[in-house]
Chains A and B, each alone.
Chain A
Amino acid sequence: MLEIKNLAVSYGTNEVLKNVHLTFESGMIHGVLGINGAGKTTLFNTIYGFKKPNAGSAQFQNRTIQNSDIGFMETSCYFYPLMTGMEYLKLLGIQNKDFDIKKWNELFELPLHEYVENYSTGMKKKLAFIGMMAMDRPIMILDEPFNGVDIESNEKLLQLLIRLKSTNKIIIIASHIIESLTRICDRINLLENGVIKTTFEKTEFPVLEKELKDSIKLKIDDVLEGLV
Chain B
Amino acid sequence: MNTIFVFLNFRIKQFFRSIREIGTPLFIILLIVTTGLTFKVLVFLSEVQGIEMAFFSFFIIASIHSTRKDSHFLKSLDVSRPLLFFAEYSMFLLPVSILLLFLGKMIPAIYWQLGMLPILFFPTGELKNNKVAPLLNLDKIPVKYFEIKLGSRKMFFVIVLLYIVALGCSFFIGTMILFSIFLLLIWPTLFEHFEPKEMIALEYEKGNFVKNKVANHFLIFQIALLPHYLMFLFYHREMWYLGLACFIGLGLGIIFNIVYKYASYRPNVPKMFSNSFQAIFLGTLLMPGFVIVSIGLIIYFWRKANNNLAYYYA
What residues make up the interface of A, taking CB atoms closer than 8 Å to B? 48-50, 67-68, 71-72, 74, 77-83, 87, 90-92, 94-95, 135
What distance in Å separates the Cβ of A103 from its nearest Cβ neighbour in chain B?
20
Question: Complex Cα distance A81/B17, Å?
Answer: 10
Contacts of A50 in B (CB 8 A): 72, 75
- Chain A CB within 10 Å, residue with most, of B10, B14, B18, B69: B10
Q: A82-B18, A87-B13 known; 5 other A-B pairs, CB under 8 Å?
A: A78-B69, A78-B73, A80-B10, A91-B7, A92-B76
Question: Complex Cα distance A7/B34, Å?
Answer: 53
Main DSSP-derived SS at the A contact region: loop
Question: Complex Cα distance A26/B272, Å?
Answer: 52
What distance in Å separates the Cβ of A161 from its nearest Cβ neighbour in chain B?
19
The 9 closest A-B pairs by CB, nearest first: A82-B17, A78-B73, A82-B14, A94-B3, A95-B78, A87-B10, A68-B78, A78-B70, A91-B6
Main DSSP-derived SS at the B contact region: helix
Contacts of A68 in B (CB 8 A): 78
* Closest partner residue, chain A, to B7 (CB atom): A91
Contacts of B3 in A (CB 8 A): 91, 94-95
Contacts of A67 in B (CB 8 A): 75-76, 78
**Among residues 185 to 244 in chain B, which have CB atoms less than 8 Å away from a CB atom of chain A?**
none
Q: Contacting B10 at CB < 8 Å: which of A78, A91, A95, A135?
A: A91
Contacts of A90 in B (CB 8 A): 6
Question: Complex Cα distance A94/B8, Å?
Answer: 14
* Closest partner residue, chain B, to A70 (CB atom): B76
* Closest partner residue, chain A, to B17 (CB atom): A82
What distance in Å separates the Cβ of A48 from its nearest Cβ neighbour in chain B?
7
Contacts of A71 in B (CB 8 A): 76
- The reply on B2 being an interface residue by CB < 8 A is yes
With A91-B6, A94-B2, A94-B3 as contacts: A135 and B76 at CB distance below 8 Å:
yes
What distance in Å separates the Cβ of A131 from its nearest Cβ neighbour in chain B?
8
Please encode chain B, from 10 to 31, with 1 for each CB lying within 8 Å of some chain A CB and 0 for all others: 1001100110010000000000
- The reply on B77 being an interface residue by CB < 8 A is yes
Question: Complex Cα distance A82/B73, Å?
Answer: 15
